[in-house]
Amino acid sequence: MRFSKFGSKLGGHAGITQLMDDLGSAMSVNRDMLMLGGGNPGRIPAVQSLFRQRMQAILDDGDSFERMVGNYGPPQGEPQFIRALAALLRREFGWPVGPENIALTNGSQSASFMLFNLFAGEGEQGQPSNVLLPLAPEYIGYADQGLNEGFFTAARPTIDHLDDHVFKYRVDFDAIHVGNHTGALCVSRPTNPTGNVLTDEEITRLMALAEQHRVPLIIDNAYGTPFPNIIFSEATPFFNENVIVCMSLSKLGLPGVRTGIVIAEPEVIKAISGINAVLNLTTGGFGPMLALDLIQSGEIIKVSRDIIRPFYREKAEQSMALLIKELDEYPFHVHKPEGAIFLWLWFEGLPITSQKLYERLKQRGVLVIPGHHFFPGLDDDWRHSHECVRVTYSQDQSVVEAGLKIISEEVKKAYDVGK
């Protein structure tokens, strides 16, 4: 059979395919594998108990379960959830949003696919446009979502060394070029894979750039505030008529329900709803109904602040301490963990590539993600991109510690042997 260009591109090998294949194998087939590569959230008993209680209430309440699984909803998404979320955002942040500003999607991955191809690609007059990533590394799942070549452009960051083993990426505004071919800007905040949180000043300057060139700034807020609020530094949430905010229920502990959220001007929401209708008819209602009570009551703010954020902050600190203890005498750096559920490790001058390190670690039963997958839009072969790996600290602490020790052993071996 001969696939189309679309089929070959989306059905072929991609970094996100490797990630999900490894994740699926580790979760269902090879359960002895130490899974430090995926983005699966940790299991937090107090949070799981809340969702179990909500599920039981749905089962016990008349025909709620039957309506949830047996009825199509509108292509914009479950109306009660959308109304409740709009009220929460007005109340919590003072954002001028109503139901007309929110659409749901079947996961944030599908939301980014819709938005990217809504604003970039081949225009009606045949002119190409692209998505500009102001700072790479950026999320692995973006890389293959464009339907044409040259879909992404990106800028290298500046690197700020905070101490011997900790650094932070910052947006290099001198390296950003917004032009006629730019259809949208996109950043994740906190950033997947690095845990970086762009400062308020950086976001403000990016908003001004986008407004100046009359293109949207897409902010991927999957780990941010108000939920799941896995963010350890001060960060103001931003929204205006030129900003599109994407959120998710996944990192609350509900990755399996595949619920993405788009917050934007009504024109964008109508377009997303139309694409939903064409691709999916509607979106799943299971996730929105599970989270509805938490959104309506505002309890989701407290759960995120008092349970979810401290859980991940403690795990980040424990993982950092272990790595620094194991690798203190080596040229190892870790990006300052300001949010999300990952550590971004940079092995400066490592004699082998991060891909080779990935292969060696996989042989020893540890899965990570090699860094070069996280630099979409950078055409040059930057050695730095082959010296980094992403690891997650979301799994059980015994798994994380065992995996980090094996990583340290293999890194030491590579440095000491020199190959």
CATH code that applies to domain 14-47+302-412: 3.90.1150.10
CB 131 within 8 A of CB 155: no
Q: What is the pLDDT of residues 134-169, one digit of tens each?
A: 999 999 999 888 888 889 999 999 999 999 899 999
CA distances for 398 relative to 100, 254, 315, 318, 402, angstroms: 46, 23, 11, 11, 6
Q: What is the pLDDT of residues 173-212, one digit of tens each?
A: 999 999 889 999 999 999 999 999 999 999 999 999 999 9
Query: From CA 213, how far away is CA 182, in angstroms rounded?
Result: 9
Q: For tokens 């590579």, name the residue.
A: 414
Give the mean model confidence (pLDDT) for residues 207-227.
Answer: 96
Q: What is the pLDDT of residues 393-417, one digit of tens each?
A: 999 999 999 999 999 999 999 999 8
Give pLDDT, residue 32: 81
CATH code that applies to domain 62-300: 3.40.640.10
**Same CATH fold assignment for domains 14-47+302-412 and 62-300:** no
pLDDT value at 2 more than 90: no
Where do the structural domains in the chain lie, given as residue ranges?
A: 14-47+302-412, 62-300
> Which secondary-structure segment (H or E) carries 202?
helix 200-212
> Whole-model pTM?
0.94
Q: Between 266-280 and 108-119, two packed helices, what is the crossing angle to 10 degrees?
A: 110
Please name the amino acid found at residue 273.
S
Q: Does the bond joining 288 to the residue before it have cis omega, within 30 degrees of 0? A: no
Radius of gyration of the chain (CA): 21
